[in-house]
Structure formats: structure tokens, C-alpha cells
Amino acid sequence: GAGVSQSPSNKVTEKGKDVELRCDPISGHTALYWYRQRLGQGLEFLIYFQGNSAPDKSGLPSDRFSAERTGESVSTLTIQRTQQEDSAVYLCASSLRDNEQFFGPGTRLTVL
């Protein structure tokens, strides 16, 4: 079946612009996660959605970062006024409740 998909696969933007990254989770998966991976580094947790519960936003690095999820479907991660240090691969994962997480291919964001 279809896995987690993310779009765009690559995004180049200028410093100060806003960007929106999209994640389509596996159908029926109630949990959705966003992570960030800087070049040569491990993954950093950003935010976690589980059903109708309040999201766990504890990993968001600043108030320029926000995310929304509509029900148990699509999620968007928004970065406002992008900075060069925001350059990274942004990975989305989904899971059925909190079991094994299935990761998407990621969006590579480059801020010039």
C-alpha cells in the first residue's frame, strides 16, 4: 500500500520567506510526527499529533515554527521568516497509535 508521502521533495527559498511543507500519512494512522535532520546529524523531534489530543509541541525550536493537522489526515509544517539555520531535511512519520513509525522520504529545505 501507499506509504507516507511528503511534498515538495526539495524546496529552495530565500532568507526571510515563509515555507509550507506537507505530509500525507498512511491512511488510518492516528499518530503523526515531524522531525528535522541537519546535514550529518541525527533526527531532532519537532512535534507530534495523536488523534484529537493536544499536540506535543515540545520540540519546536522557535515560534517561527508551527504545524497543523486536519483530523487524522494531512499535516502541514510552516516555517515563517526562514533563516539559514533552518536548512535541513524535514521528515514526517505516521503510526497506528504509537507503534512502529513509518517515515516519509523527507523534504530537503535550503535557505539561501
Partner 1 sequence: DAKTTQPPSMDCAEGRAANLPCNHSTISGNEYVYWYRQIHSQGPQYIIHGLKNNETNEMASLIITEDRKSSTLILPHATLRDTAVYYCIVRVGNNQGGKLIFGQGTELSVKP
Shortest distance, position 101 Cβ to partner 1, whole Å: 6
Q: Which of 42, 63, 70, 84 binds partner 1 (CB under 8 A)?
A: 42
The cell for 39 is 546535514
106 in contact with partner 1 (CB under 8 A): yes
Instruction: Out of 29, 77, 104, 109, point to the residue binding partner 1 (CB under 8 A).
Output: 104
Minimum CB separation from partner 1 for residue 15, in Å? 25
Question: CB 50 → partner 1: shortest distance, Å?
Answer: 6
The answer to whether 76 contacts partner 1 (rule: CB under 8 A) is no
Residue in 25, 26, 35, 17 with CA at minimum distance from that of residue 90: 35
Q: Is 5 in the site for partner 1 (CB under 8 A)?
A: no
- Nine-digit cell string for 95: 503510526
CB nearer to partner 1: pick between 64 and 108: 108
Binding of residue 101 to partner 1 (CB under 8 A): yes
Report helix, strand or coil for 86.
helix
C-alpha pair distances (Å), 63 with each of 23, 35, 40, 71, 80:
20, 16, 25, 23, 9
Taking the CA atoms of residue 59, residue 42, residue 50 and residue 47 in that order, the dihedral angle to the nearest 10 degrees is 20
